[in-house]
Amino acid sequence: MPSSTKLTKAGGQLVFSGFFFAYFTCFGLVLPFMPYWMVSRGLDAEEAALILSSAFVSKVFFGLGVGVLADATGHKKRWIIALSVLAFLGFSVFLQFETFWPMLLTWFVVGALQTSHIPMVDGLAIAATRLGKLNYSKARLWGSVAFIISSTLSGLYITAFTIEAYPQLLLVLAAIVIVFSLSLPDIRPQAKTNRKLAFIELFKLPGFVVIVAAGSLLQASHGALYTIGTLHWIKAGISESVIGLLWAQGVAAEVVLFAVGMWLLIRVGVKGLLWMAVAAAVVRWVTLGLSTDVAVLFIVQLLHAFTFAATHLAINQYITQKVPDQLTASAQTLYDSLALGAFMGISMTIAGSLYEHISGQVFWVMALISLFAGIVLRRYAHLI
């Protein structure tokens, strides 16, 4: 459990890479196959979507609250460990239920806690980066590698042992996240906030509202993929093992972008990355609404490098450059609460509701959301 004074750059790379690998190994099981497990319990696609989207809405309050408390106390690591333990306990409870309302009420809390890890760890990683102890994009790519391995092997595992084997595997992976959270460094800001609502100062930073709005819309455009992607492909006759590979394909492209992330940032900057994300998102969602041909899906999944990873890097770079150290957790969790919270929750709810009526064309609604992000950039990019 190194402090900032004892942490070396090699050590920083190791512990953050390890945590990202552990976390996304678990998330690589949750994201692709949780909807499938819920449907196997007797729920329909719309009910599964509502359950999943509930956590993205509650995350607005849970995630932002934890971020503000972490900045106020300066103890980011303690909150990360707490989230890891609570997520494990929450999964243990959630997996006991098989009906809609108990699942909804439990996931409303558990899902929010589980997805609040990354903004907190990103805030800690930014502190390590500023101390010269971490290359963020190279550490974060190990999370993407883990997602590839996990989603691929999980698909094969479920194919071999059926979806009934899902709960045991999820709990094992969630427990491993706790172990790796203990290894993170305890980096605390030199300056502390003087007021409980100091995070309001974020809105005075040049371009903060613009960057949050554009990033939130781009991330929310993934709502249909996260909600009904696996179910839509299963309905089209694609096997679980191939679906695992499709998820892995997208994240493999993400790994490449994270590997060259700093090189790309130097050349196109934050705004350039966001424009790449807008263009890729429109093409990706339009294509997914048109085809379930496996060859086409494998090609279009490569665009995940831009729709997700480019957006993620752009936001982190902005926060690294513009946000004071004592407000990084608040900045990360505020963005995350909107991008992967309120906006995503609304997007997923829309996707789940419309899928029963328009099937795969729901992806075209995601393309419209991406276009709105482009409109925001075109109108206000000069502020970034």
Cα distance between residue 333 and residue 222, in whole Å: 19
What is the percentage of the chain residues whose pLDDT exceeds 70?
95
Q: Are 216 and 274 in contact (CB under 8 A)?
A: no
Instruction: Return the minimum-mean-pLDDT range out of 40-44, 199-203, 225-229, 294-298.
Output: 199-203
Mean pLDDT for all residues in the chain: 88
Average pLDDT over residues 333-361: 88
Q: What is the pLDDT of residues 70-93, one digit of tens each?
A: 767 777 888 899 999 999 999 999
Average pLDDT over residues 369-380: 95
Q: What is the pLDDT of residues 219-271, one digit of tens each?
A: 999 999 998 998 999 999 999 889 988 988 888 898 899 888 889 999 999 99
Q: Which two tokens stand for residue 105?
A: 């009420």
Name which of 140, 136, 144 is nearest 254 in CA terms: 144
Question: What domains appear along the chain, each with residue ranges and CATH number?
Answer: 9-186+199-383 (1.20.1250.20)
Cα distance between residue 174 and residue 181, in whole Å: 11
**Which pLDDT belongs to residue 158?**
87
**Which pLDDT belongs to residue 46?**
83
Q: What is the pLDDT of residues 157-174, one digit of tens each?
A: 888 888 999 999 999 999
**Which pLDDT belongs to residue 1?**
47
**Which pLDDT belongs to residue 120?**
84
Q: Which two tokens stand for residue 170?
A: 């999820």
Q: Which of 10-19, 66-75, 119-128, 153-162 has the highest mean pLDDT?
A: 10-19
What is the percentage of the chain residues whose pLDDT exceeds 90?
51
Average pLDDT over residues 10-32: 92
* Residue 350 backbone zone (phi > 0: left; psi -120 to 50: alpha; other: beta): alpha
